[in-house]
């Protein structure tokens, strides 16, 4: 080991010492989740009781879990949205005891509007603490790969897409945390945070690679592995330009990058003639340039989601990256980090019982007017539940629609894996398409294009080259193919209007255009009858689903042909 490497490793151990102590305390508290969670709920209600939300929901008199549940309903974002709107306008006491709001983290909602999640000091502290504890465990699992204190490739989003009327920035949380990192940590990340402000997907991937291929990368990190697949494909497709830019210390002039972003990036560009020559030779020998050619597999780790619908992308990773260890990031969203994976080789993570108070509803009871509600200490291994977090930053009994399964226990605290967004969502690449988005888009387009639709459902379809959504309709409705193609084009665009994440994934090429999957006449009526017989209930109350999130749904239908 070189002296420089020795000093870096020692520095890393010094920096992580407080985190390692913290992790030991967390592991101890996982032996008694009921007490830990009860104390946290008391603290939240005490701190927030004088906010408007706290007064409206009688936090001052909620002395038990039962009283809290009686006064605050299980509800989605729309319930708390009026309070968040007041915070946007400067009335932070409507929802938050601490008047300092650092930003709003943006995410797509279950309606046409985007969710704005207030990021406070307590939010950021919990977010960083969770990442730090996850990181310590991940580094421990990979001691032999010598990844500590080596560069990391991570793509973030725009930390400030716009500002609220009160001047609070709204944007991507990962972009924000990259922007405010300490200088010593920021130097470990290859991709400048300003890259997240590049709107053109191709240019964004190119810039990320331009700043990464010259460095001795140890980790490649992206929540959705589809991002890593797209990064790998861009590397091979643009290898000649990337090698030339690395050799010359330049950045392609024909990329769609705003002048102010170029001005920020220009001083950071370095030339590396020797490294460019090495990559040029590798590309010539292999006839390609993949991440595993640039960064040897034996010295790298991939960090991404591995649960839910990620399987098809994970199966493609070895083609481009070889087979380095893959570590799951845990159940995290703009709303917060909910689990911390403390074991390698699994998509499960232990509940972050320090950061949020958790409740759970059994999968089959989520639509019940009086569902069973359980605490973390009451869950059973092998069972599936909807997770309902209560946070320190204004989300209470929040129905995020995440379905999880208990896979085991860390101490006495459940370890859970993410299954999906529930029956009202589909999520191939992070677009989180909801049935609301589908029905609203259908209503809008049907008024413009007179396409017959007897019955329909939209469902995701996997394709190794480019996954897509299909509109399943019966063949007699598709006799006028030019009109159907116009309808598909309009419907595809309208889905992007209703859901900005769908539009972003279409623009980046991670999702292909909507297609029509034609099924025989009467197929939908027969399918509905079979489903009703299987689930029970009365025909009068039955609702045909307009969105089916099952990626294997197409395999169950007799599709005669597709129209694109």
pLDDT in tens, 449-479: 999 988 899 999 999 889 999 999 999 999 9
What's the whole-model pTM score? 0.82
- Cα 76 from Cα 396, distance rounded (Å): 9
- Cα 344 from Cα 347, distance rounded (Å): 8
> Which domains are delineated in the chain?
10-121+330-420 (no CATH), 143-324 (no CATH), 426-563 (3.30.300.30)
In tens, the pLDDT along 148-196 reads 879 999 988 899 999 999 999 999 998 999 898 888 788 889 999 999 9
Assign 14 a pLDDT band (cuts: 50, 70, 90): low
In tens, the pLDDT along 343-389 reads 888 899 999 999 999 999 998 888 888 999 999 999 999 999 999 99
- Cα 547 from Cα 502, distance rounded (Å): 14
Give me the chain's average pLDDT, please.
91
Measured over the CA atoms of residue 234, residue 236, residue 241 and residue 243, the dihedral's sign is positive
In 3-state terms, what secondary structure has residue 377? helix
- Cα 353 from Cα 138, distance rounded (Å): 20
- Containing 361, the helix (H) or strand (E) segment is strand 357-362
The b/e string for 318-344 (b: 16+ C-beta within 10 A; e otherwise) is: eebbbebbbbbbbbbbbbbbbbbbbbe
- Cα 408 from Cα 458, distance rounded (Å): 35
Assign 111 a pLDDT band (cuts: 50, 70, 90): very low
- What distances in angstroms separate CA 231 from CA 151, 218, 353, one per listed residue? 17, 16, 35
- Cα 38 from Cα 40, distance rounded (Å): 5
Q: State the average pLDDT over residues 313-330.
A: 92
pLDDT at 112: 46
- Cα 440 from Cα 111, distance rounded (Å): 9
Assign 425 a pLDDT band (cuts: 50, 70, 90): confident
Q: What is the DSSP code (8-state) at residue 189? A: B
The b/e string for 164-176 (b: 16+ C-beta within 10 A; e otherwise) is: beeebbbbbbbbb
């Amino acid at each position: 080991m070189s002296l420089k490497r020795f000093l870096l490793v020692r520095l890393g151990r010094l920096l992580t010492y407080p985190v390692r102590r913290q992790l030991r305390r967390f592991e101890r508290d996982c032996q008694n989740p009921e007490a830990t969670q009860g104390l946290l709920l008391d603290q939240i209600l005490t701190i927030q009781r004088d906010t408007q939300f706290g007064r409206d929901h009688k936090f001052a008199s909620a002395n038990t879990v039962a009283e809290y549940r009686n006064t605050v309903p299980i509800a989605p974002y729309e319930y708390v949205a009026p309070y968040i709107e007041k915070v946007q306008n400067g009335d932070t006491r409507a929802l938050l005891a601490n008047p300092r709001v650092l930003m709003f983290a943006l995410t797509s909602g279950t309606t046409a509007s985007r969710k704005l999640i207030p990021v406070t000091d307590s939010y950021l502290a919990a977010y960083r603490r969770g990442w730090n504890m996850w990181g310590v465990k991940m580094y421990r699992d990979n001691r032999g790969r010598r990844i500590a204190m080596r560069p990391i490739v991570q793509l973030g989003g725009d930390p400030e897409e716009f500002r609220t009327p009160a001047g609070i920035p709204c944007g991507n949380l990962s972009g924000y945390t990259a922007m405010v990192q300490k200088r010593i940590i920021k130097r470990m990340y290859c991709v400048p945070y300003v890259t997240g402000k590049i709107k053109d997907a191709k240019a964004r991937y190119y810039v990320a690679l331009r700043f990464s291929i010259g460095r001795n990368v140890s980790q490649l990190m992206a929540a959705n592995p589809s991002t890593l697949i797209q990064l790998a494909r861009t590397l091979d497709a643009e290898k000649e330009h990337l090698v030339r830019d690395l050799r010359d210390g330049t950045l392609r002039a024909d990329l769609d990058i705003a002048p102010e972003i170029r001005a920020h990036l220009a001083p950071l560009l370095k030339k590396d003639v020797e490294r460019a020559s090495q990559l040029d030779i590798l590309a010539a020998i292999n006839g390609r340039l993949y991440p595993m050619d640039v960064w040897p597999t034996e010295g790298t780790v991939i960090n991404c989601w591995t649960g839910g619908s990620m399987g098809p992308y994970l199966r493609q990773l070895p083609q481009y990256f070889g087979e380095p260890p893959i570590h799951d990031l845990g159940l995290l969203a703009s709303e917060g980090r909910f689990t911390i994976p403390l074991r390698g080789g699994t998509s499960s993570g232990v509940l972050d019982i320090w950061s949020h108070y958790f409740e759970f509803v059994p999968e089959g009871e989520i639509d019940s007017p009086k569902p069973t509600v359980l605490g973390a200490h009451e869950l059973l291994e092998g069972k599936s539940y909807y997770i309902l977090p209560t946070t320190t930053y204004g989300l209470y009994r929040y129905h995020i629609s995440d379905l999880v399964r208990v896979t085991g226990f860390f101490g006495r605290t459940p370890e859970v894996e993410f299954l999906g967004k529930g029956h009202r969502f589909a999520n191939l690449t992070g677009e989180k398409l909801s049935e609301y988005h589908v029905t609203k888009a259908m209503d809008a387009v049907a008024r413009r294009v007179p396409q017959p639709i007897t019955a329909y459902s939209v469902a995701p379809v996997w394709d190794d080259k480019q996954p897509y959504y299909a509109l399943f309709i019966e063949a007699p409705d598709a006799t006028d193919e030019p009109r159907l193609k116009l309808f598909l084009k309009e419907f595809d665009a309208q889905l992007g209007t209703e859901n900005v994440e769908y539009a972003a994934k279409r623009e980046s090429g991670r999702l292909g255009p909507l297609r029509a999957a034609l099924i025989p006449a009467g197929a939908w009526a027969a399918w509905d009858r079979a489903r009703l017989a299987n689930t029970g209930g009365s025909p009068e109350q039955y609702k045909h689903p307009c969105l089916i999130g099952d990626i294997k749904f197409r395999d169950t239908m007799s599709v005669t042909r597709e129209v694109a």
